[in-house]
């Protein structure tokens, strides 16, 4: 089963994303509630796709992306899901190698479709 | 009446009047602060500061952090500053001629390259050795300035010269800044852009807290008795004092650990003074004076939310140096701005704030010392009416206990950071013993500070940092870790 | 015995001891209040922790499973019943359910959001929000407004409009934000507003407007001549943010009448809208201006829009007394491809700064 890492510190969203992706049989969802937990998981396991917020404790989503691309040297699809949709942030993220960028408020249906497209 | 009786009446009467007035002042400030604190909490109940996080209208901020011999923790500190939640800010670290490997570590960790930065030197400072930017796009908002040693004020002035944004936040690099601190500090500037020139936050004590990678994980009450006394002291000062002064627009002090200013006002007022160890208070007083003299309306806002956590001295030696410096700094500021004393031209600052600081902050240790000496004199001469003396001492003690428990109540009704049941009792015990075990020491060090000032001491003293010790098993993630 | 001892003391000692006692009682009272407060908080936290997981799961399942289900009603009604049972247990749980639904709704769009609105109505939470808006406590009123706005209950606007004239500033601000979020004409209240719109409020209004459908966004030029300067400033900014290019001419006309601060803002706005047609107007302002801030705005405009034909009007500013103006002038000349003489050390330093990739 596909492994999906979701890095999100908002507990309200955690259950929605988890239920949606698992209900749509996209894959098994592993949660990380802060950047440090995410880095530990990224180092120890392989994931088919990573979904991350930008603003999280310890390491931001963009730091995770940089770590994934530059340090772990992996091309794992990486989706940013954030409330902050400023143009310069979006461009910065794409410069760093993000695969897709979704802003909140978001549609779970749309997220599910975008994730399945990348896997 | 004999001469002795006259002297007795004068001394006792003066001390009595002083005691009544300082007590009334503290009570008024405490009550006023509490009302304002509740009002602040109500106002901000609905504010989601994260709205600012996602807005393209957020003003740009420069974070200025001088660093001197911070090699032990500089990388973690800078990384935690870079991860502060805000979408439009730059971090400027000013290496103030460190003798250790601070600069080398920064260059390596952040892949720095020297750049031909053209700096407009609006404030005169010590020479700059180089300005650096990172070649790594992830750190594109980081600027490092390497300069010759000139002290904290000089380093901050370099930061003011280098920064390009209209708002600057001056911080101590080893303080832990809460992730939403900038959001909260910027808000007053957005609510009243024309008038607000500065905002200051609360400094809380981080001793025994769980700190990892430059971030506060869990708040704990300090285990050290000395640090606990300081927690109580900070709660009284920040929750029961500054809130009231802010409301009166008479706040004289924005903590040097974390304050935000309109850059232009700070620069035209002359920047930080390098002639005083109380540079944070001195700048605020000077900015106020500058604007009052030109009849320009302004406000200085105070945010009672805990935004900044710092390591408090945990040994008498380091604490004595700190209090010595504070006493010298206070006097230097009061002396340099003595033209304000009861001067109506300076409105609340001249008529209320300055006299308050002069009489009840600076003079207090002297009055206490005179009181103690007079008491000893009476004791030796057998002139003490013990019942009366003990009743008076009891009154002073229970008044102190009342103010301390009031501050604990203010903390409980606002930010309640110390949530364990036992914390309350530990703090009550600290409040009970503080008048005997702590207060005499800080009074003595304040007096010594003034004495040292008269003798010509100018230095900060060696404020040795132990660094935050990690309390849990988390790993320190370095950028190149694999 | 204690009382008689006390009475035997001189009056002044009695007074001192009474005050001591008074402060001691107050201290003990404060400690007692803190204890009670801590107890209440820990009970609330315990209660919340006990049910929050279940509530989040139930609401998430409704949101996720009811979309695309073969028989949506069956599972929807079942889960709704569970939530209703939880809600009935206590007012506190009812409040937690409300907060969770509102918090979730803020993050979702599309069908999921519609399902949440359905849940909100079917659980009777809408009536609770309306009753909050009708209460006397301003915090409750504001909370109710927020819930109504997040859940897009547009048919309740008539309950809110009266607060536009409330004596409480925070209520007035809340209702404006709320109406910007749900009213058919989002900014209708701007017509009559006479108090200052802070930057903070403007930012929040903008965030609300961003979430409205494009066809509901008003033409901001309607308020360019509003007597309230903060409204004018806000509308100029919104013109840029919503790309209302048809108003460039009107903004240019406004340049002639506005005060210095607004002129800077308008020029910045024209720059961001890439208003090439305004180059002459801005050039004219540049040649007459004495204010450094205004000069810098004009130079930035020219740098963004102009070409090296502007060299003649920009060049004098490389000798301006303000170093920031000099820097901006050199940057403008450099980026518009104009020629620069590099005799001056300061100019060489400025140019090196401008040209370096890590500093641009």
Q: Do the Cβ atoms of C135 and C141 come closer than 8 Å? A: yes
CA A42, CA B476: separation in Å to the nearest integer?
16
Answer left, alpha or beta for residue B151, where phi above 0 means left and psi between -120 and 50 means alpha: left
Nearest CA in chain B to A105: B54
The alpha carbon torsion through C89, C90, C95, C101 (nearest 10 deg) reads: 0
**CB of C282 within 8 A of CB of C302?**
yes
**Chain A neighbors of C107, CB-CB under 8 A:** 10, 12-13, 83, 104-106
Cβ pair C26:B399 closer than 8 A: no
In chain B, which residues have their Cβ closer than 8 Å to the Cβ of C350? 118
pLDDT at B457: 61
Tokens of C336: 């518009």
Which of C56, C65, C112 is the closest to A12 by Cβ?
A: C56
CB of B409 less than 8 A from some CB of C: yes
Chain C residues in contact with A106 by the CB 8 A cut-off are 107-109
C352 → closest Cβ in B58, B59, B116: B116
Q: Is A96 touching B (CB cutoff 8 A)?
A: yes
User: With contact defined as beta carbons under 8 Å apart, do C328 and C299 qualify?
Assistant: yes
Q: Quick check: B388 and C33 CB within 8 A?
A: no
Question: Which of A39, A81, A83, A86 to mutate: most B Cβ within 10 Å?
Answer: A86
| CA of A36 vs chain B CAs: smallest distance (Å) | 8
Tell me the pLDDT tens digit for each residue of B195-249: 999 999 888 999 999 988 777 888 999 999 999 999 999 999 888 888 899 888 8
Chain B residues close to C200, C-beta within 8 Å? 187, 190-191
Give chain B's mean pLDDT: 88
Band of the pLDDT at B479, cuts 50, 70, 90? very low
How far is the CA of C192 from the CAs of C189, C227, C239, in angstroms? Answer: 6, 10, 20
Asked if the Cβ–Cβ distance from C30 to B408 is below 8 Å, we say: yes
What pLDDT digit, counting tens, does each position of C271-321 carry? Answer: 999 999 999 999 999 999 999 999 999 999 999 987 778 888 999 999 999
- pLDDT tens across B376-390, in order? 999 998 888 888 899
User: C113 CA to chain A: closest CA distance, Å?
Assistant: 8
- The closest CB to that of C198, out of B192, B412, B424, belongs to B192
Q: CA end-to-end span of chain C, whole Å?
A: 85
| Chain C CA closest to residue A87 | C241
Closest CB to A63: pick one of B138, B215, B482.
B138
Contact C303, C331 (CB under 8 A): yes
- Reference C115, options A14, A107, A113, A15; nearest CA is A107
What does the pLDDT read at residue B478? 22
Give the count of Cβ contacts less than 8 A between chain A and C: 57
| pLDDT tens digits, B91-135 | 999 999 999 999 999 999 999 999 999 998 999 999 999 999 999
Q: Does C9 touch chain B (CB under 8 A)?
A: yes
Among the listed residues C116, C80, C84, the one whose alpha carbon sits nearest the alpha carbon of residue C100? C116
Q: What's the pLDDT band for B470 if we cut at 50, 70, 90? A: very low
The pLDDT value recorded for residue B475 is 26
Residue of C nearest to B139 (CA): C358
3-state class (DSSP) for residue A102 = strand
For residue A20, which residues of chain C lie inside 8 Å, CB to CB? 64
B381–chain A Cβ distance below 8 A for any pair = no
Closest partner residue to B405 (CB to CB) among C13, C30, C143 is C30
Q: Which residues of A touch B56 (CB under 8 A)?
A: 86-87
C-alpha distance from B391 to closest chain C C-alpha (Å): 6
Q: Mutating which of A15, A102, A109 best tests the C interface, going by the most C Cβ atoms within 10 A?
A: A15
What is residue B261's three-state secondary structure? strand
Q: Which residues of chain C make contact with A19, given a CB cutoff of 8 A?
A: 57, 60-61, 64-65
pLDDT of residue B45: 80
Q: How far is A60 from chain B (nearest CA, A)?
A: 7
| Rounded distance between C-alpha atoms, residue C150 and residue C147, angstroms | 5
CA B292 → CA B212, B298, B349, B408, distances in Å? Answer: 44, 9, 10, 36
**Which residues in chain C are closer than 8 Å to B59, comparing Cβ atoms?**
199
Q: At what angle do helices C138-150 and C125-133 cross, to 10 degrees?
A: 140
With CB atoms and an 8 Å threshold, state whether A23 touches C64: yes
- Are C110 and A13 a contacting pair at CB < 8 A? no
Cross-strand bridge partners of residue B136: none
Residue B114, classed as helix, strand or coil, is strand
Per DSSP, helices labelled H in chain C are 2-8, 11-65, 72-89, 91-107, 110-122, 125-133, 138-150, 157-160, 169-182, 199-210, 229-241, 248-255, 260-272, 279-288, 292-305, 311-314, 323-335, 345-355
Asked if the Cβ–Cβ distance from A11 to C67 is below 8 Å, we say no
C203 in A contact zone (CB under 8 Å) = no
Query: Would an 8 Å CB–CB cutoff place B137 in contact with chain C?
Result: no
How far is the alpha carbon of B450 from chain C, nearest alpha carbon, in Å? 33
Note whether B42 contacts C199, CB cutoff 8 Å: no
Q: What is the DSSP letter of B139?
A: G
Please say if the pLDDT value at position B465 is more than 70.
no
Identity of the residue in C9, C24, C200 whose CB atom sits nearest the CB atom of B187: C200
The Cα of B190 is separated from the nearest Cα of chain A by a number of Å equal to 19
User: Which residues, other chains included, contact C205 with Cβ-Cβ below 8 Å and sequence gap of 6+?
Assistant: C176, C177, C180, C187, C197, C234
Q: How buried is residue B157: exposed, middle or buried, by Cβ count under 10 Å (0-12/13-18/19+)? A: buried
Q: Give the residue ranges of chain C where pLDDT is below 70.
A: 65-74, 342
- CB burial readout B213-225, b (16+ within 10 A) else e: bbbbbebbbbeeb
CB A69 within 8 A of CB A38: no
Are the beta carbons of C60 and A110 separated by less than 8 Å? no
Chain B touched by C142 (CB under 8 Å): yes
- The three-class DSSP label of residue C286 is helix
Report yes or no: A85 at the B interface, CB cutoff 8 Å.
yes
Give the closest of B116, B416, B419 to C353, CB-based: B116
- Residue B401: band (very low, low, confident or very high) from pLDDT cuts 50, 70, 90: very high
Q: Does the beta-carbon distance from A107 to C110 stay under 8 Å?
A: yes
Q: Which two tokens stand for residue B463?
A: 């404020």
The answer to whether residue A28 neighbours chain B at the CB level (below 8 Å) is: no
Its ipTM equals: 0.89
pLDDT of residue B42: 83
The shortest C-alpha distance from B58 to chain A (Å) reads: 11
- Cβ of C352 and B402 within 8 Å? no
**Strands B258-262, B128-134: pairing kind:** unpaired
Give the position of tokens 């002042």: B25
Reported as a pLDDT band with limits 50, 70 and 90, residue B441 is very high
β-partners of residue C328 are none
What value does the mean pLDDT take over residues B409-435?
90
Task: Look at B120 and C26 and tell me if their CB atoms are within 8 Å.
Answer: no
Please tell me which residue of chain B has the smallest CA distance to A104.
Answer: B54
Candidate from A10, A23, A110 with C-beta closest to C110 = A110
Question: Is A57 in CB contact (< 8 Å) with chain B?
Answer: yes
Inter-chain contacts counted by CB atoms under 8 A, chains B and C: 124
Grade residue B458 by pLDDT with cuts at 50, 70 and 90. low
Helix (H/G/I), strand (E/B), else coil: B367 = helix
A16 near B CB under 8 A: no
Per-residue pLDDT of chain A (119 residues; tens, 9 = 90+): 899 999 998 888 888 899 889 888 899 999 998 888 999 999 999 999 999 998 888 788 988 998 999 889 999 999 999 887 788 888 889 988 999 999 988 999 999 999 999 98
Chain C neighbours (≥3 Cβ pairs under 8 A) are A, B
Of B388, B408, B416, the CB nearest to C13: B388
**pTM of the shown model:** 0.89
* Angle between helical axes of B439-455 and B316-336 (0-180°, round to 10): 50
């Amino acid at each position: 089963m596909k492994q999906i890492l979701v890095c999100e510190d908002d507990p309200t969203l955690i259950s929605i994303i988890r239920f949606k992706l698992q209900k749509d049989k996209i894959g098994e969802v592993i949660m990380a509630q802060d950047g440090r937990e995410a880095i530990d998981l990224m180092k120890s396991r392989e994931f088919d796709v990573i979904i991350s917020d930008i603003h999280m404790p310890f390491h931001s989503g963009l730091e995770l992306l940089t770590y994934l691309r530059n340090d772990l040297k992996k091309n794992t699809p990486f989706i940013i899901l954030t409330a902050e949709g400023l143009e310069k942030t979006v461009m910065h993220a794409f410069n760093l190698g993000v695969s897709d960028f979704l802003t909140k408020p978001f549609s779970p249906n749309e997220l599910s479709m975008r994730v399945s497209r990348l896997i | 009446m004999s001469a002795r009786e006259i002297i007795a009446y004068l001394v006792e009467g003066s001390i009595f009047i002083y005691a009544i007035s300082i007590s009334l002042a503290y009570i008024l400030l405490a009550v006023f602060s509490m009302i304002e604190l509740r009002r602040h909490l109500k106002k901000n109940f609905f504010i989601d500061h994260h709205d600012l996080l996602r807005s393209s209208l957020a003003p740009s901020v420069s974070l200025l952090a001088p660093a001197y011999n911070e090699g032990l923790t500089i990388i973690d500190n800078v990384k935690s500053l870079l991860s502060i939640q805000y979408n439009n800010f730059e971090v400027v670290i000013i290496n103030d001629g460190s003798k250790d490997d601070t600069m080398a570590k920064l260059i390596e960790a952040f892949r720095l390259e020297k750049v031909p930065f053209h700096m407009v030197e609006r404030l005169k400072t010590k020479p700059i050795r180089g300005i650096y930017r990172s070649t790594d796009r992830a750190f594109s908002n980081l600027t490092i300035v390497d300069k010759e040693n000139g002290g904290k004020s000089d380093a901050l002035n370099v930061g003011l010269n280098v920064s390009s944004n209209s708002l600057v936040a001056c911080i101590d690099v080893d303080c832990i800044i809460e992730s939403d601190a900038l959001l909260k500090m910027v808000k007053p500037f957005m609510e009243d852009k024309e008038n607000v020139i500065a905002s200051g936050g609360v400094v809380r004590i981080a001793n025994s807290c769980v700190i990892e990678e430059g971030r506060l994980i869990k708040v704990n009450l300090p285990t050290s008795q000395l640090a606990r006394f300081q927690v109580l002291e900070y709660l009284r000062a920040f929750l029961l004092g500054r809130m009231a002064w802010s409301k009166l627009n008479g706040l004289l002090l924005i903590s040097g650990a974390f304050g935000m200013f309109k850059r232009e006002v700070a620069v035209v007022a002359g920047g930080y003074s390098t002639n005083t160890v109380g540079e944070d208070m001195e700048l605020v007083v000077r900015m106020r004076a500058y604007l009052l003299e030109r009849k320009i309306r302004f406000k200085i806002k105070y945010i009672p939310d805990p935004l900044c956590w710092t390591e408090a001295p945990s040994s008498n030696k380091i604490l004595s140096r700190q209090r010595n410096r504070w006493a010298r700094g206070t006097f230097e500021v009061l002396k340099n701005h003595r033209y304000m004393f009861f001067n109506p031209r300076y409105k609340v600052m001249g008529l209320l704030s300055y006299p308050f600081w002069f009489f009840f902050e600076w003079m207090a240790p002297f009055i206490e010392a005179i009181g103690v000496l007079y008491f000893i004199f009476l004791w030796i001469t057998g002139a003490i009416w013990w019942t009366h003396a003990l009743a008076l001492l009891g009154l002073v003690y229970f008044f102190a206990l009342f103010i301390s428990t009031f501050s604990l109540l203010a903390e409980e009704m606002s930010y309640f950071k110390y949530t364990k049941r036992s914390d309350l009792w530990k703090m009550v015990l600290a409040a009970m013993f503080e008048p005997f075990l702590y207060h005499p020491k800080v009074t003595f060090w304040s007096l010594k500070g003034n004495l040292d000032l008269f003798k010509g001491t100018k230095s900060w003293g060696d404020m040795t940092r132990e660094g935050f010790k990690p309390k849990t098993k988390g790993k320190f993630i370095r950028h190149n870790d694999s | 015995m204690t009382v008689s001892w006390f009475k035997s003391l001189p009056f002044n000692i009695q007074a001192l001891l009474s005050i001591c006692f008074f402060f001691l009682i107050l201290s003990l009272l404060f400690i007692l209040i803190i204890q009670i407060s801590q107890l209440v908080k820990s009970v609330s936290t315990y209660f919340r922790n006990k049910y929050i997981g279940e509530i989040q799961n139930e609401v998430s399942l409704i949101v996720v499973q009811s979309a695309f289900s073969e028989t949506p009603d069956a599972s929807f009604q079942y889960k709704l019943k569970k939530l209703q049972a939880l809600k009935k247990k206590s007012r506190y749980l009812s409040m937690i359910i409300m907060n969770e639904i509102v918090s979730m709704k803020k993050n979702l769009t599309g069908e999921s959001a519609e399902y949440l609105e359905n849940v909100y109505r079917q659980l009777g939470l809408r009536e609770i929000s309306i009753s909050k808006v009708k209460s006397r406590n301003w915090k409750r009123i504001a909370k109710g407004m927020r819930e109504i706005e997040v859940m897009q209950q547009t048919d309740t606007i008539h309950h809110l409009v009266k607060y536009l004239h409330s004596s409480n500033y925070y209520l007035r601000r809340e209702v404006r934000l709320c109406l910007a979020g749900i009213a058919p004409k989002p900014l209708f209240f701007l017509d009559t507003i006479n108090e200052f719109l802070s930057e903070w409020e403007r930012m929040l209004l903008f965030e609300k407007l961003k979430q409205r459908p494009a066809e509901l966004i008003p033409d901001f030029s309607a308020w360019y001549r509003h007597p309230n300067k903060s409204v004018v400033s806000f509308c100029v900014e919104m013109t840029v943010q919503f790309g209302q290019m048809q108003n460039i001419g009107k903004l240019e006309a406004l340049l002639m009448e506005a005060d210095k601060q607004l002129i800077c803002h308008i020029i910045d706005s024209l720059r961001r809208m890439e208003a090439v047609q305004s180059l002459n107007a801005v050039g004219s302002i540049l040649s007459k201006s004495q204010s450094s801030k205004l000069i810098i705005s004009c130079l930035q405009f020219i740098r963004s829009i102009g070409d090296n034909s502007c060299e003649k009007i920009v060049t004098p500013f490389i000798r301006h007394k303000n170093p920031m103006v000099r820097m901006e002038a050199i940057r403008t000349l450099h980026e518009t491809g104009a020629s620069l003489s590099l005799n001056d050390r300061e100019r060489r330093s400025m140019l090196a700064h401008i040209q370096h990739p890590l500093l641009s």
